Amino acid sequence: MSNLNPQQLAASKPDSGINLVIAGAGTGKTSTMITKIKNILEHSIVRHDQILILTFSKKAAGEIKERLSGKLKIECEPGFAGTFHSFSLKLLKDHKDEYLKHRKIDSFPAVIGKDEKESIMKELIMEKPERFLGLPANTVIKLAENIDHLDNKILLKLKSGPLFDEITAIINKFENYKKDKLLIEFEDMINHTAELLETYPHVRERVTSKYRYIFVDEFQDTSENNFRLLSLLIPESSRNLFMVGDDFQSIYKFRHSRVEFIINAEKFFPGISIHKLTINYRSHKEIIKISNRFINLNKFRTSKKITSHNGKGGKVRFYNIDDMENEAQVLIKIISKVPENFTIAVLYRNNYQGVFLKSKIESDNSGRKVEFMTMHGSKGLEFDAVIIAGISDKIIPDRTSDLEEERRLFYVALTRAKKELHLLYYRNGTDELPRFIKETGYKKN
């Protein structure tokens, strides 16, 4: 898109205050954000070194910096552009004296990743494994990590026996271990930074004076601790915050993201200006039509209707399959008929599906380059042809997950397709179509 449409222009105008852009899939949210930054710099609302850009992945931060550099045509680095975690670590190091004093420690802690954490927790669990009534260590770890976010039924079941107390004890033991060994994990970075800003007003004043305009990418992925930190980074006056995201694509509840922050933004930011981007530049009309129909079945969502800039010309096909062997054969046939110059992706709910299908496709030696990935892994990507495999009520919606979250995940998969969308489904031994196939509007012949 060389020129912005009226929706994008309105969202990117050089103003102050708190703005949220609810941007549908393929509607140009990053272009809008980059133009917004360019405009506020050209109108001298803030200096480039007073800009803070927060993302949820290194990749997103890198893309924004690269596109910003190309748009401005000059070296004009923002004050900071990176993930919530990397920014938090930087603040803790920048205010090391206050941080060490607050935590009552003598030196800066070392950072541990997910693998190190699991290894430590397994050691602690295996000291007395019988306490966990035969539960595998990985299950205990998962329960411990999600103890504050468990479904009420699961929580009540845990509390009815000794497991809840044992899991709580292992959490406390791990926290003490980290303190003794001077270790922090990624979520600690955010929580400790928020505590630091709450405890030392002069530190908060220093930070809010330094960063005068904050940009947040993929706002729908915001968790409670992200939001707590973000709230502390905004000063009491001259509040400049620009957020982009799409509640339809909020798929990280298992990482504790809370979709209500974007859906109920007016509650959390009184006086906020909300813009909507609804023109999709990625997909043809046929693909947009079924994805709109599908996501509109969610009750808790924002109201917006996505339209296709590209118009008609897309292909949507459904295939009834019997088993995974049959699925692989159908997949090979579909791929053989996709135009040679098209990019192709095969998407699925769970990794085991991909392992099997990939082995079958590669052994077929068709020579085509095909990307294989989970629906979660496809977020932010696009392909000329998308094949969604293994659609079955036994697989999606996942019974251990929230239905509306699963619907958003399937919506993400649908909206990766630019020109062709192929859906492979199982009837599960009955005459009934799988739930998510029915919800696209497809009717069996």
Letter string b/e over residues 114-130, b meaning 16 or more CB atoms within 10 A of that residue's CB = eeebeebbeebbeeeee
| 273: helix, strand or coil | strand
pLDDT band at 152 (very low <50, low <70, confident <90, very high): confident
What is the rounded average pLDDT of the residues 426-432? Answer: 80
Q: What is the pLDDT of residues 229-243, one digit of tens each?
A: 999 999 988 899 999
State the residue range of the domain holding 139: 111-181
What is the rounded average pLDDT of the residues 267-274? Answer: 96
At residue 74, the pLDDT reads: 54
What is the rounded average pLDDT of the residues 269-273? Answer: 95
Q: Are residues 318 and 421 in the same domain?
A: yes
At residue 431, the pLDDT reads: 80
125 has pLDDT over 50: yes
In a domain, 362, yes or no: yes
What is the rounded average pLDDT of the residues 335-360? Answer: 94
328 has pLDDT over 60: yes
What rounded mean pLDDT belongs to the chain?
Answer: 93
Higher pLDDT, 412 or 362: 412
In a domain, 291, yes or no: no
pTM summary value: 0.93
In a domain, 383, yes or no: yes
Q: Where are the alpha helices (DSSP H) in 269-414?
A: 285-295, 324-337, 351-364, 403-414
End position of a domain, from candidates 181, 209, 236: 181
Q: What would the two tokens of residue 183 be?
A: 């270790």
The residues with which 223 forms a beta bridge, in sequence order, are 257
Place of tokens 């339809």: 248
End position of a domain, from candidates 124, 146, 181: 181
At residue 76, the pLDDT reads: 65
d(CA 340, CA 165): 59
Q: What would the two tokens of residue 317 be?
A: 């096909």
239 and 18 Cβ atoms separated by less than 8 Å = yes
pLDDT band at 75 (very low <50, low <70, confident <90, very high): low
Q: Are residues 134 and 30 in the same domain?
A: no
At residue 240, the pLDDT reads: 97
Question: Which of 368, 404, 399, 400 lies closest to 384, judged by CA?
Answer: 368
Higher pLDDT, 287 or 71: 287
Higher pLDDT, 97 or 76: 97
Q: What is the pLDDT of residues 32-52, one digit of tens each?
A: 999 999 999 999 999 999 999
Q: Are residues 330 and 423 in the same domain?
A: yes
pLDDT band at 293 (very low <50, low <70, confident <90, very high): very high
At residue 153, the pLDDT reads: 81
Domain count, the chain: 3
What is the rounded average pLDDT of the residues 361-371? Answer: 80
| 88: helix, strand or coil | helix
- Cα 185 vs. chain centroid, distance in angstroms? 20
Q: How many helices (H) and strands (E) does the chain have?
A: 19, 15
Q: Are residues 380 and 421 in the same domain?
A: yes
At residue 1, the pLDDT reads: 41
In a domain, 296, yes or no: no
Place of tokens 């295939």: 319
Give the percent of the chain with pLDDT over 90. Answer: 83
Q: Are residues 77 and 214 in the same domain?
A: yes
CA triple 436-438-441, angle to 5 deg = 115
In a domain, 261, yes or no: yes
What is the rounded average pLDDT of the residues 305-317? Answer: 97
Q: Are residues 241 and 360 in the same domain?
A: no
User: What DSSP state is assigned to residue 71?
Assistant: H
pLDDT band at 430 (very low <50, low <70, confident <90, very high): confident
At residue 161, the pLDDT reads: 85
End position of a domain, from candidates 258, 277, 296: 277
Q: Are residues 59 and 136 in the same domain?
A: no
Q: Are residues 338 and 200 in the same domain?
A: no
